[in-house]
Amino acid sequence: MSVLEAVRTGRARSWWERTAPGLAVAAGGAGVAMAVNRLVPALSALTVAVLAGVLVGGALPAVTAHGLRWATRALLRAGVVFLGLQLSLAEVLRLGPGMLTVVVATVLLAFTGTLALARLTGVSRGLGLMVATGFSICGASAIVAMDGVARSEKEDVATAVTLVTIYGSAAIAVVPFLGSHVLGLDPETVGMWAGLSVHEVAQVVAAASPAGAAAVGAAVIVKLTRVVLLAPMVAGMGVIERRAGGAVDGRRPPIVPLFVAGFLVLLLVRSAGVVPGAVVTGAKEVSTVLLAAAMFGLGTSVRVGALLRTGRRGLLLGLLSTVLVGAVSLGALSLLGHR
């Protein structure tokens, strides 16, 4: 073995020795989150993972820190890439131009409206952007994707994920109750409303389920159409951040992060119809595991005291954003003739 090869081998071994303990802990956290999700499907594995990380973060040994940081960054991005295989443009286009317009309008109004509400409530710019992204598009996955191009703190990301958990869970009970019993909407419209206004996919399914199978089918298609908007939203914010002269980790943010480009590539591959169903199912599981491990790592970096300092304003922002998204989406459906 040459000297150069020995140096490279030593570096690789050193990196692995520093990373392995934290990576193992993140994998364990993901396993726990997946198990809880199996027992209680309404609880997203990502939600459970980040909360578990927050609970144990202060008790973990220092040797796990490097691996957990690596998991938070690398596995998040890999999970978002695999998310692309869950989407098909054919399913999106079947909604028709009217419903597609409703989805786009709801996302844009929810995003810009939540940014305005963030300024009114006095939360930090980073937290406002994370909440606007998560509440308008697809919860935790959207938050971590936006974090790739934005100037935000880990506490902002974790707080936004926590707010997604709180208000998305509340929507599981509120949306079907209001839709079916108060407003008298038909099952398909209840499903569409859930798909437009609820954050995580698991929460959307749970919110639409009381209205029946037709509602669940409509909810999932509408929800995945919102997810498609993740890439252009992140790209647009990347352009804004570069023009503003912002920096992420000391570097100018990319217009389109590499992992978002990977998400788009896999979306197009799935849309071409060349991916077997078993691969799509497997990719969904892989994406969930990767994101859960990363969310656990994110949670361990959060200190509850920092969250509590912005808690009231964050909770208020989450409430106002939830009401905004629900009202805008319901109004748009009414204009389209869904009642």
223/68 Cα distance (integer angstroms): 30
Closest C-alpha to 57, from 307, 299, 308: 299
Mean pLDDT of all residues belonging to the chain: 81
Q: Quick one: tokens of 262?
A: 């990977």
Per-residue pLDDT tens over the stretch 126-172: 889 999 999 998 787 788 778 777 777 777 887 888 888 778 878 88
Closest C-alpha to 143, from 79, 202, 197: 79
292, 29 in Cβ contact below 8 A? yes
Closest C-alpha to 72, from 148, 131, 124: 148
pTM over 0.75: no
58, 257 in Cβ contact below 8 A? no
The answer on pLDDT for 339 being more than 80 is: no
Residue 6: band (very low, low, confident or very high) from pLDDT cuts 50, 70, 90: very low
Closest C-alpha to 51, from 309, 299, 302: 299
Q: Quick one: tokens of 207?
A: 């919110």
3-state helix, strand, coil in the chain (%, to 5): 85, 0, 15
Q: How far is CA 143 from CA 69, 77, 91, in A?
A: 17, 11, 24
pLDDT for the residue numbered 113? 95
Handedness of CA 221, 222, 228, 234 (dihedral sign): negative
Q: Quick one: tokens of 272?
A: 């071409």
Q: Quick one: tokens of 295?
A: 């969310």
The answer on pLDDT for 7 being more than 60 is: no
Phi, psi dihedral angles at 335 (to 5 degrees): -65, -30
Share of the chain above pLDDT 90, in %: 19
27, 68 in Cβ contact below 8 A? no
When computed from its CA atoms, the radius of gyration of the chain, rounded to whole angstroms, is 20
182/175 Cα distance (integer angstroms): 10
pLDDT for the residue numbered 5? 47
Spell out the domain ranges in the chain.
18-336
CA 6 vs. chain centroid, Å, equals 42
pLDDT for the residue numbered 131? 92
Residues 6+ apart with CB under 8 A from 324: 109, 110, 113, 114, 117
224/221 Cα distance (integer angstroms): 5
Helix (H) or strand (E) holding 155: helix 154-176
Phi, psi dihedral angles at 227 (to 5 degrees): -65, -35
199, 233 in Cβ contact below 8 A? no
- If one compares 287 and 255, the residue with the highest pLDDT of the two is 287
134, 159 in Cβ contact below 8 A? no
229, 87 in Cβ contact below 8 A? no
193, 185 in Cβ contact below 8 A? yes
Mean pLDDT throughout 17-34? Answer: 89
Written as one letter, the residue type at 32 is V
Per-residue pLDDT tens over the stretch 210-252: 888 778 888 888 888 888 888 888 888 877 877 766 555 555 5
Q: Within 10 Å of residue 229's Cβ, how many Cβ atoms? A: 19
